[in-house]
Amino acid sequence: MLKGIKIGTIAGTIIGFLLLLMEKSTGKKVYTLLMNVDFLPIIGSISWPFYMEWLFHLMLSCAIGMVLVAILSYVSPSRHQQRWLAASVLSLGAALSYFPLTILAVKETPDVADPTALGGWMVSHLVYAVVLKKCYDFL
């Protein structure tokens, strides 16, 4: 469990900073989208400070890290392909959240079909998959 929390914290921090950098450089609200919880019942009606949104983001990333560790506990440690597959599938699931998150968002987020925002979101989630796998290997 601790390994998954470490993996999720590192990977979540990296993707957060990537999307923040992209939002600052392009004006596309991809970091806003990553941090957004306004569509969730109960907690969505609260105007959270940025550090609480960051905490929510890291909690989700830690959960993904723990799922990765749980999945890979059933795989031989020498099976690099299965580690890549597990990290990629989990990251793809997170990447595909772009569509429902942009549709459900109350605050301003990128258009669902914005190629710059979508491309940046997908590339950052590809990096997220690499970081998940590499952190798993390293830790």
Cβ-proximal residues to 98 (8 Å cutoff; 6+ apart), any chain: 33, 112, 118, 121, 122
Percent with pLDDT over 70 in the chain:
98
Within 30-79, residue ranges assigned H as helices are: 30-35, 50-72
Q: Which amino acid is at 85?
A: L
pLDDT at site 97: 95
pLDDT of 13 over the 90 cut: yes
pLDDT at site 56: 95
As a whole number of angstroms, the distance between CA 56 and CA 62 comes to 10
Domain boundaries of the chain, sorted by first residue = 2-42+51-138
Query: pLDDT tens digit string along 32-82?
Result: 999 999 998 888 889 899 999 999 999 999 999 999 999 999 877 668 889
Query: pLDDT tens digit string along 100-121?
Result: 999 999 999 999 999 999 999 9
